[in-house]
Structure 1
Amino acid sequence: MLLSTYGSRGDVEPLVGLAMRLRELGGEARVCAPPDEDFVERLASVGVELVPAGPSARAMTKAAPPPSSLPQRAAEVAAGMVDAVTAAADGCDVVVATGVYPAVAAARSVAEKLGIRSVHATFQQLTLPSPRRPPLAYPGRPFPPEVTDNQELWDLDARSIDALFGAAVNTPRASIGLPPVDDVRAYVIGERPWLATDPVLDPWQRTAGLDVVQTGAWLLPDERPLPDALLAFLEAGPPPVYVGFGSMPLHASGDAARVAVEAVRAQGRRVLVSHGWADLALIDDRDDCFAVGEANHQALFGRVAAVVHHGGAGTTATATRAGVPQVVVPQLADQPYWAGRVAELGIGVAHDGPTPAFASLSAALGTALAPGTGARAKAVAATVRTDGATVAAKLLLAAGQDRS
């Protein structure tokens, strides 16, 4: 089976979990993903083949080009994905397509051309049309303020997606002899999309016209040991507060690190700073702070007092499963949604806006570190499903057997 994506670490890590579960159940899987060193090393560490697709996701994210260049970037991603999936799909009976719209459309197009079944999976429900909420607006394309009806907004969303990604999707389709699609969103989502999120953290309500399969989050038990130096820091004092923003570049990252460290210290806590794509770093040489790179979050989050993060789907799910209070500082896309869910569940705080200040982050930490929040986080953790990747793997293998 071929598992394809284009996006950040949060788009790649679930495929690692699914690939491993497929292998344990007797299946085989390879992954198409951006050629970033982080992803190459992660897949190599579990013995899963990576087929590089498109340009570096990290370089594209950190470049932060203007919204007007989005169609051009989409075309680059889609073209690279068509080439990679065409090369990688040989001998595969199912393509699982995830990530940004142009990448999913490209992967599904190749599967269509080759006569292979394809499934679209998403790691958050905000791209699935629902009359209960509005869609996300794309950068540079805000919705008219006078339009408040959700169905109207979803209609505008479909037209916006066609305008942004139509040429990027249809040009490579023409190159492999396929007709154009006139509704990119409908083509990407399909009739039976998979929602790879936890039902407690991300409850899906049945919606007319969409037969959504919610599998649970694709989390792989991570057995990697924590680095010795990190273990030494953890054992040298009380649990620190973790601060990291994953694959978000945070162009004001120097200020973010200083604000975070000072706010955590003001709570009388030690600080663990994760470099991430923002390249966060220590602000001084005091021994109450430690900086870490790539690390096993499952093992780490169970040993910290709270997690301050950007609200990516994977980080939110891992922190929730670990039963640790969270402060979510959302940057973009689905991250405000996850921040809201953390607050609604009472397992942490949604920071107001993407730029933390000392006062705002201190207030959020005060709530997150309160005993009641910690107790609620532990209670919710006990309800989180752990079998999402297994459920998805069994569905894929059963579908393959039905076709044989």
Structure 2
Amino acid sequence: MRVVLSTYGSRGDVQPLAGLAVKLRELGAQVRVCAPPDEEFAQRLAAVGVEMVPVGDSVRGLVNGRPPAPGDFPRRVAALVAGFHEAVAAAAEPGGAVVATGFFPAVAGAQAAAEAVDARFVYVALQPTMLPSPHHRPFEFPSQPYRPELTGNRELWEDNVRTMNALFREQVNAHRASVGLPTVDNVRDHVFTDRPWLATDRVLGPWPQPAEREVVQTGAWLLADESPLPAELSAFLDAGEPPVYVGFGSMPLSGAPDAARVAVEAARAHGRRVVLARGWAELAPADGGDDCFAVGEVNQQALFPRVAAVVHHGGAGTTTAAALAGTPQVVVPQIVDQPYWAGRVAELGMGVAHEGAVPTVGSLSAALGQALTPEVGARAAAVAGEIRTDGAELAAKLLLG
């Protein structure tokens, strides 16, 4: 059976598909992944023996480049719908399966391809807040604010249909008509389907009940990493007390250009050394102090158990990796689902949600002070024991069964 996995997003969107791909291949499936053409994504998939089909523009280029003009949005949506339809349709087979996540137009293109090829389609959310629920609000697009008189979650999700139609329906329906598929009135619910999957851990990112929508929660799709830590990093870790890890993943942090200096000074205020992950913000030490070590791509599964705290942006992958390590977290959320994960870290008592996206030395030092207490450390260790690691295996069996 051939399975096509599709996404358009950052590492947090690609890595879970890599984890699922590994389990699918172990069960005998043929797997291809349609993803952005960024070199780091291709390398990550090649490392686990999965073929990648590049689609669209580089996500890192879009994130770090000049913001696109608002008037260019419809063209970009149409291009993603068409591009992912073409790539997925070429890779899929009748009776096979297509699993899609990421930016909505790419998912819509993958869904249309599955429909045209007569393959099973599964939409998967990588965080609960992507799916309609009376227990949380929908994400608000800056260009489509919700009416101020709407305050209840159900009302906001009903208005979200209008939002999604305004942003995407014209381009999605134009493409569907061009390939001989019927147009749809409610583009959101058609693409999300009436039985979406949720790839989050039931402790970290639960699907609260009661809920009107049937959701299949598989658990998080984790990719085992057995790569060793660089020798220089291991030597740094061995040379003193556990440092604080600071990394913001795929976030450019354009609103916080001195985030590296702030983080290092906040850690020093507690007598802590720092491991600074460069990420897409290109974080770098502000001075030549020997208490700070900068790293690029690194095995978080090996590193996080050896640090005193993890300061990060609140991506689902980093949140889960730190939780599995039993290491206290300080989450400085930036966009979309990151405030949700920051809230969950705080609610579970395994860390601190920083207020606001731009930390100061004072605010980050205060958050670190709370995270480094014995009570938070004990709670983080307890939560680690409750997290399951078989989500990708379960999803693969459901898909092939």
- Report the equivalent of 1:65: 68
Contact 2:133 2:212 in 1 (8 A): no
Distance 1:13 1:88 in 2: 20
Partner in structure 2 of residue 13 of structure 1 = 15
| More off after superposition, 319-328 vs 208-217 | 208-217
CA shift in 2, pair 1:82/1:275, >3 Å:
same
Q: Percent identity of the aligned residues? A: 62
1:203 aligns with 2:206: yes
Deviations 1:361-384 (A, max 9, x none): 010000011111111000000000
- Relative to the length of structure 1, the TM-score reads 0.95
The gaps in structure 2 that reach 5 residues or longer are: none
| Pairing partner for 1:55 from 57, 63, 68 | 57
**Distance in 2 of aligned mates of 1:38 and 1:220:** 15
Q: Partner residue of 1:164?
A: 167
Pair 1:143-2:146 in alignment: yes
Q: Could you tell me which residue of structure 1 aligns to residue 84 of structure 2?
A: 81
Following superposition, the deviation at residue 300 of structure 1 comes to: 1.0
Distance in 1 of aligned mates of 2:14 and 2:146: 30
Asked if the contact 1:2/1:92 (under 8 Å) is kept, the reply is: no
CA contact (8 A) 2:94 2:117 kept: no
- Residue 26 of structure 1 and its aligned partner are, at CA, apart by 2.1
Residue 176 of structure 1 is matched in structure 2 by 179
- 2:27 is matched with which residue? 25
Cα distance between partner residues in 2 of 1:187 and 1:227? 46
Match of 1:244 among 247, 252, 256: 247
Q: Distance in 2 between matches of 1:92 and 1:54?
A: 26
- Aligned partners of 1:67 and 1:139 also within 8 Å: no
Cα gap change, 1:389/1:254 in structure 2, threshold over 3 Å: closer, same or farther?
same
Task: Indicate if the aligned counterparts of 1:264 and 1:365 stay in contact, CA closer than 8 A.
Answer: yes
Q: TM-score, normalised by structure 2?
A: 0.96
- SS of 2:330's partner is strand
Q: Is the 8 A contact 2:219 2:392 kept in 1?
A: yes
What root-mean-square deviation, in Å, do the aligned CA atoms of Structure 1 and Structure 2 show?
1.4
Mapping 1:323-342, distance limit 5 Å: 323-342=326-345
Q: Shift of the alpha carbon at 1:208? A: 4.6
Match of 1:256 in 2: 259
The CA deviation string for residues 167-198 of structure 1, in whole angstroms up to 9 with x for no partner, is: 23223222221122211110121011100000
User: Is contact 2:94-2:118 (8 Å) kept?
Assistant: no
Map 1:210-289 onto structure 2 (within 5 A): 210-289=213-292
Secondary structure at the counterpart of residue 151 of structure 2: coil
Cα distance in structure 1, aligned partners of 2:132 and 2:92 = 29
Inter-CA distance 183–304: structure 2 relative to 1 (3 Å threshold): same
Offset of residue 94 of structure 1? 0.4
Match of 1:401 in 2: none
Q: 1:357 aligns with which of 355, 360, 365?
A: 360
Paired with 2:44 and 2:145, the residues of 1 have a C-alpha distance of 37
For 1:291-340, what per-residue CA distance to the aligned partner results, in whole angstroms no more than 9, with x for missing partners? 10111111111111100000011111111111100000000101000000
The residue that corresponds to 1:394 in the other structure is 397
Q: Deviations over 1:91-134 (max 9, x none)?
A: 77000111111111110100000111110111001121112222
Deviation at 1:254, TM superposition (A): 3.4
Q: 2:195 aligns with which of 192, 201, 204?
A: 192
Q: Does 1:309 align with 2:312?
A: yes
- Distance of 2:155 and 2:323 partners within structure 1: 34
Partner of 2:34, secondary structure, is: strand
SS in 2 for 1:65: coil
Tell me: CA distance 1:369–1:111, structure 2 relative to 1, closer, same or farther (3 Å). Answer: same
